[in-house]
Structure 1
Amino acid sequence: MSANRKVKSLRSKYISIMALFVTFAFVGGHFAVSYFVFEHLEEDIAKDTIERGNMIANRSANFIIEDKFNEYKLVLNGLEALPRFNYVHIYQMKNDALEFFSSYNKKGFPAIPSKEAFIEQYKTPVITENIVELIYPVIHNESLIGYAYIQLSAEHLYHLRKTSFFTLAIGYIIFLLAGIYIAIRMQRSVANAVSYLVTDIREISQKRNYQKRFVQMNTLEFEVLANNLNILLSRTEKFIKKQGDAEQEILKLNHELEDKVSQRTEALKESNQELLSTLEKLHQFQGQLVESEKMASLGDMVAGVAHEVNTPIGLGVTASTLLSDRLNEIKTAFEDKTLKSSQLKRFLNEGQENVGIIYRNLNRAADLISSFKKVAVDQSSEEDRAFKVHELIDEVILTLAPQLKHKTVDLQIECPKSLSVISKPGPINQILINLIVNSIIHGFEGSDEGVINLNIMQLSGQLHISYRDNGKGVEQALRNKIFDPFITTKRGEGGSGLGLHLVYNLVTQALGGNIQFDSEVGNGVHFEINFPVIVE
């Protein structure tokens, strides 16, 4: 045996071997835990963060589109029930630039700077110590309308890392000491203690009984391990209880939300029923107003004809009064025997003139009344009859003479005098009156003269009416709804807005035809009307 060779005792060899074994075992265990446990935990956290980011982005899309800042602020405040949410920032795209839309800060957490400059950095979840951050795009109809930044708490992973590291370190010390103890004493107490711990841990793992606690151990190392395991079990129990409370709170909120949705649904049904009832009444009122418009048009025509008839009757009364006075003078002269031949001759001449005046004016009044009677009867009837179109137009013009006198209107009629058809003269009469009155009131407003061109012809069993005026025309905003009810530029000045609506209904419903409208401001209006007729 060499004097310089160092001889180690068996105890030191066993201790060295055990120390190396324990060291390599715990180093390998640490890397295994880091790879298999924490790597998977980080992946799960990343997936959970992406799901939550997707949820926040989807819920914020409609609020961004509708610009409902305050409503969405209330929705974000509901995240208080989810303790993992630390911050939520919502940004919206405006004019190809990001602008702040809304945010949520966890209670007790100070505000953080804007994250607009970190979009590329946080496109995938980034875990930093005890937090995880993500910026998720907000998509609406396959278009990018903003971004949602979320910061979630990763305290459980952070604490798990620390606890795992601390546990591994303590375990390393314990097992190192245990290995030395085994190497020195080789007693069964160590094996028994390890077996006890393993049995309890297995029972806790299988039954998920986190309320169970490890009892005091006989050795310090295992006592420390047991205490730390008890701490871990306590934290696990608290976390599970907290998670359960959060789930119960979510269920409660879901039930409350379902109740509110049910109540709002019932209220919406009642509102819809009321709207349907109101719409039905409006249709009834609209029909009544259309009939009232017809009667009002007839009333205006009666007033105009009464005024027109008053003139010839007044002239007839004046002439008859003058004739009566001259007759009394002749009678008195005859009775007094002072009648002269020249006086009698003058009386006969004046009498003949007055009788002529009376005849002409009474005949004029009779024509007016006859024309009005035909128009009135036609307007109140929708039966088919044979009539000459040109005569119908003459009757309309005669009826509208009072209105046409107020303005110098050049009414140009192009219609064959021999054109005779079988149709409903009443609706045609009403259509022409409404169009001419509409031109006088609206088209020639502010002007003392105007031109109306009425071209009527028969083509292939259809009566074609082309109506034009050179008035001021219709603005672009009113053209597409010119036939809608209650559309008028004279609201508050006697205009009901039903004139052209009545024309449209008469053409399409009473006559079974169609009507087209065109106009430019300053160039008057143009109506094209076609409806089927029977040509005699």
Structure 2
Amino acid sequence: MQRTDKQHAKESLSLSSRLFTLVFGLVTLMMLLYIALTTLLTSNNERIRIIQQAEVVAQQIALKAAGVQLDDDEAVALLQGLAAYDAIQHAHLYAYSRNSSVLEVAASYNQPGRAALPSQSAQINDIQPYRFFGEQLEVVHPIQVSRMNNTTATIGYVYLRVSLEGVTATYQRHLVTSFGGFVLLLVTLAVALKLFLSYVQQNTQRFSRLISQAILDDQLDIHKSQPIADEFFELRLQIRRLLEKFRHEKRYAAHSANQARDAYEKLETESQQRTNNLREVNQKLTEALTQLHAYQRRRLEQDKLASLGDLVAGIAHELNTPLGTSLTAITRLQHEQASIMAAHQEKNLTAAQFQEFLDHGEEMLSLCYRNVQRSTELVRHFQQMAMFNRTDAPKKIALPVFLNTLCERLKDELNLPDFVHISCHADDVIVHMRTIIVEHILTELLDNTIAHAPIRHANNDVEPLKIELTATTDEHAIILVFRDNGKGIEPRLKNKIFEPFVTSNRMEGDQGLGLFRVHSWVTNLLLGEIRCESDVYIEGDENKAHGTTLTIRMSKDLENDD
């Protein structure tokens, strides 16, 4: 019952009372916080000032004491000037005795009217540089002298005991002043709030009587009545508009209901008609989609045949040269063999002719061997491309361990030149990956980079070649980035580097199949894609960025795909 009475009393408070309580409470809280913070800052600043003043006095005494004998009258005279400081109650000069390392009081000062302070030598090390002791501050400063070998030695200490009564007085004055201003502010605020709430209440009652009279008289022109506060002018206009809107809505309610009924019947008819039309269109789209799928399958087969034709043509072109050269060499060798056999039968074969035949035969056989070996290498490359998909199953590996191990093994196996530097970075994740294919891809990229990327100057100097391999992952893919700072790829070759038999070093025996194999492995076996970005090196403009970046994205779902 008591709780219900309190809740009722709380709900019966007027808006003006709640506003008064809220504003008064907030101002009171802010002022108390302000007084607390300023008092704390004032007290702290006064303490800091006292500490700094005491340390300066102690430092001055220590500097003067370093030049006198601490056991004579000059040391006593150093402390007599402390009478000018009201806060300093006691001061001691401590010096080490001649026969031991014990601190003894060499001179002392006591504020008039205060008893002598006993020796504090046992506490010197605990006080440095200062400490607070009740309502007092203790400050210690060493007395140091210079030696002949540019070193300093401590011969004693200056001890000061300072009163903090000034800090307390400053704290009390600030507190009294702050509370006086606080009370004055509260009184002013209370009077201002009372006047404001009285003004708001009078205007609210006047506006309420105005609306009540307008309702009783059944009129909407309340804006022509007696004047009210500007704060209620917009509210008065909105109430008038609300009354007008209610009258119009009541008038058109029945008309709107009839229109809704007619619209529903019309919509039902149109919906049935459109359903029939959509059924016919859906049937036509299904037939068109079936035809489109059939066309796409035929087109795909045609594209595959065209790609196969281009590949076969390229292989035939590459094999034609070595096989043709071998056939020519064999034909010539057969012709020379017939000549030698004829000379042998006629018994006019000379040693010079036979030696020439042997030399030519060795040269022709060597030529045939090189060209047949080149043809065999081409066939082996294409066999290797076809075998990977059947021998390499996805494995669960730690990506950084795999990448770092592979980089170290490639450094050892490939016998890298001194100007080549490789670095590897990988996210610390566990992934499923076809490791054999990835190893061959990275090996092929490394071989290709070392063969084509180095920047060679006219004097045969080679710029350092930095190769950076980074492996990261996202939600759907594993991303390998192979980056170098080499000479880049010529624009005329950049768009064709993944095609077979495209190379810039054909005169040096390069077949142009390296990046073609990489592209085939990435797209066909790893279900990914490879992208190339390259900036060409310009002689004399070393500050311009240069090098090639190959980005490989491979699917993370290889385990499920297999």
TM-score by length of 1: 0.31
Structure having greater relative contact order (Cα 8 Å, sep ≥ 6): 1
